[in-house]
Amino acid sequence: MTRQNVRGLEVVLADGTVVRSLNKLIKNNTGYDWPQLFIGAEGTLGVVTRVVLALHPPVRSRQTALCAIRDFDAALAILRFLEEEIPGRLLAFEAMWPDFYGFATRTAGVSAPLPGDAPLYLLVETSLPDQENLEAPLAVLLERGLLHDAVLAKSEEERRKLWAIREVPAEYARHFRGGSVKFDVGIPLGHMGEAVGTLRDLIDRSWPEATAVFYGHVADSNLHLVLGRLDGAVLPQHEIEDAVYGIVSRFEGSVSAEHGIGRRTKAYLPLSRSPDELGLMRLIKGAIDPLGLLNPGKVL
């Protein structure tokens, strides 16, 4: 998470005051940690003009595997196993549901290193010293029945090909000529498998003509869903948003995991935040930007 790498901020407030905390310390308990409030506020509290970021050593070696697994519970078990066995080494842990894998490998034509009939795919990338260090834990996972199949990239070229599957969202515009309806939601990990099933049923029932693909940054409890029509027709965006955000809210999810609240998602904010929370946010906004000058119409 970016928040954890932000050590200090300089912001300009609505009245022109420049407030500066170019802190480099890891622990600093001197009054309110006000920069936290400006992170993710979409510029509605102040304009960020400088940032102190924590840096991490460059990754010296990457191992990348595409895995076919039985369900989302297996994904969680694999995540926990890798976090315990090789802590601090996981660079990516991406789940791709079969609709997504099918869209990438059949519709978008990316080469398919594994058959398309698995219930769930994972793209796992690590920063271990060498290839063998990932082969060993994958072998344990195969033995325990948590992995059905796996392909380990043997070269940078193979690694790029595995990532091309996951990066297929860049192709949406070409295939969904009528536009797409996109979601960036947070779902508690314990509910994510079930939530995807519920959303899939809803879509199959209500918009059977839509192509709907699910993928997620599992380690961040972040799920993406994109709907579009291959025949170029337009989908009913508001109707779909109402239904999808309703289900997300039932699973105690959030209507924005990483992209923040802009004009479009603002209407759904009360699904993720209580009236008292929104009241507190308005109180803070009113105190810091009483004339409502900064990025009006966003967040609140």
CA distance 205 to 61: 46
Burial of residue 274 (CB within 10 Å: 0-12, 13-18, 19+) is exposed
Reduced to 3 states, what is the DSSP secondary structure of residue 168?
helix
CB of 214 to a copy of itself, least distance (A): 17
For a copy of itself, the closer of residues 159 and 259 by Cβ is 259
For a copy of itself, the closer of residues 286 and 297 by Cβ is 286
For a copy of itself, the closer of residues 42 and 171 by Cβ is 42
CB of 135 to a copy of itself, least distance (A): 17
Reduced to 3 states, what is the DSSP secondary structure of residue 84?
helix
Residue with token string 């392909």:
151
CA distance 112 to 105: 6
For a copy of itself, the closer of residues 67 and 248 by Cβ is 248
User: Is residue 153 within 8 Å of 62, Cβ to Cβ?
Assistant: no
CB of 278 to a copy of itself, least distance (A): 7
For a copy of itself, the closer of residues 93 and 100 by Cβ is 93
Output the CA torsion 274→280→284→287 (10° steps).
130
For a copy of itself, the closer of residues 95 and 288 by Cβ is 288
CB of 76 to a copy of itself, least distance (A): 13
CB of 218 to a copy of itself, least distance (A): 10
CA distance 42 to 218: 24
CB of 141 to a copy of itself, least distance (A): 17
Burial of residue 283 (CB within 10 Å: 0-12, 13-18, 19+) is exposed
CA distance 212 to 210: 6
CB of 243 to a copy of itself, least distance (A): 19
Contacts of residue 136, defined as CB under 8 A and 6 or more positions apart, other chains included, come to none
For a copy of itself, the closer of residues 210 and 299 by Cβ is 299
The two most distant CA atoms of the chain are separated, in Å, by 63
> 57: which DSSP letter?
P
